A and B are shown apart, each in its own frame.
Chain A
Amino acid sequence: MQNADLSFILRNSWLVPALPLFSFAVVALFARRFSEKAAGVVATASVFGSAVAAGLVARDYFRIFPPGTDGQALVPWSIEWLRYQDRLSITVGVLVDPISVLLMVVVTTVSFLVHLYSTGYMRGERGYGRYFAFLNLFTFSMLGLVVASNILQMYMCWELVGLSSFLLIGFYYSRPAAVAASKKAFIVTRFADLGFFIGIILLGYHGFNLLDGQHPFDFITLSSPASLEKLAGATSGFLGVGLLPLAAVLVFMGAAGKSAMFPLHIWLPDAMEGPTPVSALIHAATMVVAGVYLVARMFGVFAAAGDALLLVAYVGAFTCFFAAVIACTQDDVKRVLAFSTLSQIGYMMFALGVSSAAHPMGYTASMFHLFTHAFFKALLFLGAGAVIHATHTSEIWKMGGLRRKMPLTHATFLVATLSIAGIWPFSGFFSKDEILLSALASGHHGVFAIGLLTAGLTAFYMFRLYFLVFSGFPRDEQAGHAHEAPLVMLIPLVALAILSVLAGWVPFSDFVRFGGGGGFHEEGHALVAALGTVAALLGIGFSWFLYAGKGTRAEALAARFGALHLVVKHKFYIDEIYLFITHKIIFRCIAAPVAWFDRNVVDGGVNLSGWCARVSSRGLTFLQTGQAQAYGAWLVGGSIIVLLVAWAARL
């Protein structure tokens, strides 16, 4: 298909990421000085424009490839950015295919609603304009990542996402906890990105040598079966591992860092130090889904790499269960939600992991869950933000009885909770169902069992949160005086609640699929749906039993499993293990000797050369007599020597 045949908006699809970038520059440089209020309006309007553009791109794309047919990848716009030589150049472009269209729509929609909500939530805060500039930058980075047409562009935006999340998590930079959290997020994800970068270099190096004439970094090259076949034969020269498995594992390391998969999950729970709408954005539409998107985007590579997908499946399934267990014991609204995000991202990861090129159902299921999760998780965080805004605390034991004080927030929060718990007809039911089915159909029974168990746990901890916050009666003075949030914050809540209900009814497998096949299977549906619903209802029932009253039953249970409860509550002491490894082992055994070497050997060498110059010059001072004739004698003597040497050399 020629680019000239495409519609105007497809040819100019760069507008989708460019609008927030432009607005970022305007807000950061001008609007912020001019008026804080203008900053919010400009930022929100630009993301609205971007959302409209993304919607039009989606409409025109699915007009070319109607639902039910295979969506091909188009690159309607690209420019050459860096040229090393004829065959090795790096472009910046827009890749339009089903999953990038999906993500464009989701990111812009959620981001717009978060912007709108923030205009209310952040009112009167210091740094209001700065906040919106960062929010725009964050949205741009994520959109740039989503539309990237090659790995390097993706990597660049990937790092920008890391940077802007750092800026937003550390938004309240006068609070030490926020500073620590932002550093933690940056360093952990940056560490993971090292693996990603090595993976890119490996793929690029071998791709350059093996695929003649094709750009080795382009996603279109990397997903074509012919070039994957050529790459699959290559060995990496590292312990005899094949190129593709090694590259896939390294790329997955980056994805696991951004998506906060175990054991790189430690930054995400702390990331709630930023303003709550930022958490909504990080957890729902940007940042954490970037890892899932990366694996989906390079699914061809992973599928050709054999066992790499198994790693994805096991890491995903483990994180899914592990985070759900921790979420059951946390006392902070945002922390519970953060661990639930980990758990849900784990679902998406293992759904990708259990699928293969021949049976890509999990691929579709994963994207479906990403789609639905974005809406209900954003809703949960924004709802939590409204609650925190009203009660001035995020401690769930201090809340309670907010159902009557904040009826609309309560209703929307309930929709999101039912959705994440997987209750029909809310969206989470459909996508979780597909994920579980894909795990079962692909023969990964262990993973399926973990997924099912986690579904029950999810319902349990989400309703624990719901009961403690909204039902019963206020446990605290502040909670008693809570009142409904302003209108500008309620509109996004209602919009997201509607989307959370409707998102599940989209015939998703007609839009997004990998390769030829990959629709949802019919057989086994009823069984999985029944099992999932039973698990969820059991979780809700148990949580009602424990928490709907005064919570004394829960305390009794916690006391019964004292040690275990403590370990889980402290997140299995993973943070402490990290601190032990970095402080006690790395700092003491590696960093300290290196510092000694630097101070004594490197600096010592520099000082030695200075000392030599000083001593030798002191020895030569007797030559400086102050007598012009002595200098003249040196001059003449030197000239004679030079002449003699020149004369001798000429002979």
Chain B
Amino acid sequence: MLEVLASNPPGVFHWLVLSSLLFSIGVYGMLSRRNAIGVLMGVELALNSGALNFVLFNRLLAPATVDGEVMSIFIVTVAAAEAVVGMAIFVLLFKQMKTVDMTQASQMRH
């Protein structure tokens, strides 16, 4: 795969690989980080991978329009709002538990 990437001029395939990498890193971060802020950062990475895909496919399928670009702006906005909500939850969590360690927030066991 690396050979294919190296031997071809930058194109759709490269961008898709970048987007997949971003998404995978984001998911990995979400699942593995113990710090809640780290989890939130993973979410942001996954969102951005989605935004990148929007722009990419807009360019590829309908270059004359800007629907995908508009969508990516929306995603950035939603991500900002989500970050705010997330941060507010973390503040409350910290007030409650004196920590933002995700593994400690496991009251909803069986």
Is the pairing of A and B real?
A: yes
Which A residues form the contact surface with B (CB < 8 A)? Answer: 621, 624-629, 632-633, 636
Closest to B102 in A: A629
Minimum CB–CB distance for B26 against chain A, Å:
11
With A624-B109, A626-B108, A626-B109 as known contacts, state yes or no: A632 contacts B30, CB within 8 Å.
Answer: yes
Q: Are A625 and B109 in contact (CB under 8 A)?
A: yes
B39 neighbours in A (Cβ, 8 Å): 629
Flag whether B107 is at the interface (Cβ < 8 A): yes
A625 neighbours in B (Cβ, 8 Å): 106, 109
A629 neighbours in B (Cβ, 8 Å): 30-32, 39, 102-103
In the complex, A633→B27 CA distance in Å? Answer: 9
Flag whether B95 is at the interface (Cβ < 8 A): no
Flag whether B110 is at the interface (Cβ < 8 A): yes
Minimum CB–CB distance for A328 against chain B, Å:
81
In the complex, A628→B108 CA distance in Å? Answer: 9
Q: Are B102 and A628 in contact (CB under 8 A)?
A: yes
Minimum CB–CB distance for A129 against chain B, Å:
62
B109 neighbours in A (Cβ, 8 Å): 624-626
Q: Are B107 and A626 in contact (CB under 8 A)?
A: yes
Q: Are B102 and A627 in contact (CB under 8 A)?
A: yes
Minimum CB–CB distance for B100 against chain A, Å:
13
Q: Are A627 and B103 in contact (CB under 8 A)?
A: yes
Minimum CB–CB distance for B63 against chain A, Å:
29
B110 neighbours in A (Cβ, 8 Å): 621, 624, 626
Q: Are A632 and B107 in contact (CB under 8 A)?
A: no
Given A626-B105, A627-B105, A627-B106, 17 more A-B residue pairs with CB atoms under 8 Å apart are A624-B109, A624-B110, A625-B109, A626-B106, A626-B107, A626-B108, A627-B102, A627-B103, A628-B102, A628-B105, A629-B31, A629-B32, A629-B39, A629-B102, A632-B30, A636-B27, A636-B31
In the complex, A633→B102 CA distance in Å? Answer: 14
In the complex, A633→B105 CA distance in Å? Answer: 16
Q: Are B106 and A632 in contact (CB under 8 A)?
A: no
Closest to B30 in A: A632
Minimum CB–CB distance for B89 against chain A, Å:
12
Q: Are B31 and A632 in contact (CB under 8 A)?
A: yes
Closest to A622 in B: B110
Closest to A628 in B: B102
- Residues in B6-27 with C-beta less than 8 Å from chain A: 27
Which B residues form the contact surface with A (CB < 8 A)? Answer: 27, 30-32, 39, 102-103, 105-110
Minimum CB–CB distance for A275 against chain B, Å:
67
Contact sample, A vs B, 12 pairs, CB 8 Å cutoff:
A624-B110, A625-B106, A626-B105, A626-B110, A627-B102, A627-B103, A628-B105, A629-B31, A629-B39, A629-B102, A632-B30, A636-B31
B107 neighbours in A (Cβ, 8 Å): 626
Minimum CB–CB distance for A465 against chain B, Å:
82
In the complex, A625→B107 CA distance in Å? Answer: 9
Q: Which 9 A-B pairs have the closest CB atoms?
A: A626-B109, A626-B106, A624-B110, A626-B108, A621-B110, A627-B106, A633-B31, A629-B31, A632-B31
Closest to B24 in A: A636
Closest to A623 in B: B110
A633 neighbours in B (Cβ, 8 Å): 31
In the complex, A621→B31 CA distance in Å? Answer: 21
In the complex, A628→B39 CA distance in Å? Answer: 11
In the complex, A628→B89 CA distance in Å? Answer: 14
In the complex, A625→B109 CA distance in Å? Answer: 5
Minimum CB–CB distance for A632 against chain B, Å:
5
In the complex, A625→B110 CA distance in Å? Answer: 7
In the complex, A621→B27 CA distance in Å? Answer: 26
A624 neighbours in B (Cβ, 8 Å): 109-110
In the complex, A636→B27 CA distance in Å? Answer: 8
In the complex, A302→B18 CA distance in Å? Answer: 93
In the complex, A621→B109 CA distance in Å? Answer: 9
Closest to B33 in A: A629
B105 neighbours in A (Cβ, 8 Å): 626-628
B30 neighbours in A (Cβ, 8 Å): 629, 632
In the complex, A628→B32 CA distance in Å? Answer: 11
Closest to B103 in A: A627
Closest to A621 in B: B110
Closest to A618 in B: B110
In the complex, A636→B29 CA distance in Å? Answer: 13
In the complex, A205→B36 CA distance in Å? Answer: 77
Minimum CB–CB distance for A166 against chain B, Å:
57
A627 neighbours in B (Cβ, 8 Å): 102-103, 105-106
In the complex, A629→B38 CA distance in Å? Answer: 12
A626 neighbours in B (Cβ, 8 Å): 105-110
Closest to B34 in A: A629
In the complex, A633→B32 CA distance in Å? Answer: 9
B31 neighbours in A (Cβ, 8 Å): 629, 632-633, 636
In the complex, A621→B108 CA distance in Å? Answer: 12
A636 neighbours in B (Cβ, 8 Å): 27, 31
In the complex, A626→B110 CA distance in Å? Answer: 7
B108 neighbours in A (Cβ, 8 Å): 626
In the complex, A627→B39 CA distance in Å? Answer: 13
Minimum CB–CB distance for B110 against chain A, Å:
4
A632 neighbours in B (Cβ, 8 Å): 30-31
Minimum CB–CB distance for A651 against chain B, Å:
19
Q: Which of A624, A628, A633 has the most CB of B within 10 A?
A: A628
In the complex, A636→B105 CA distance in Å? Answer: 20
Q: Which of A629, A632, A636 has the most CB of B within 10 A?
A: A629
In the complex, A90→B32 CA distance in Å? Answer: 74
In the complex, A266→B103 CA distance in Å? Answer: 81
Closest to B109 in A: A626
In the complex, A636→B32 CA distance in Å? Answer: 13
Q: Which of B31, B39, B102, B108 has the most CB of A within 10 A?
A: B31
In the complex, A625→B108 CA distance in Å? Answer: 8
Minimum CB–CB distance for B99 against chain A, Å:
14
In the complex, A624→B108 CA distance in Å? Answer: 8
In the complex, A625→B104 CA distance in Å? Answer: 11
In the complex, A632→B42 CA distance in Å? Answer: 13
Minimum CB–CB distance for B49 against chain A, Å:
14
B103 neighbours in A (Cβ, 8 Å): 627, 629
Closest to B106 in A: A626
Closest to B28 in A: A636
Q: Which of B30, B32, B103, B110 has the most CB of A within 10 A?
A: B110
Closest to A636 in B: B27
In the complex, A508→B105 CA distance in Å? Answer: 100
Minimum CB–CB distance for B97 against chain A, Å:
13
In the complex, A626→B106 CA distance in Å? Answer: 4
Minimum CB–CB distance for B61 against chain A, Å:
22
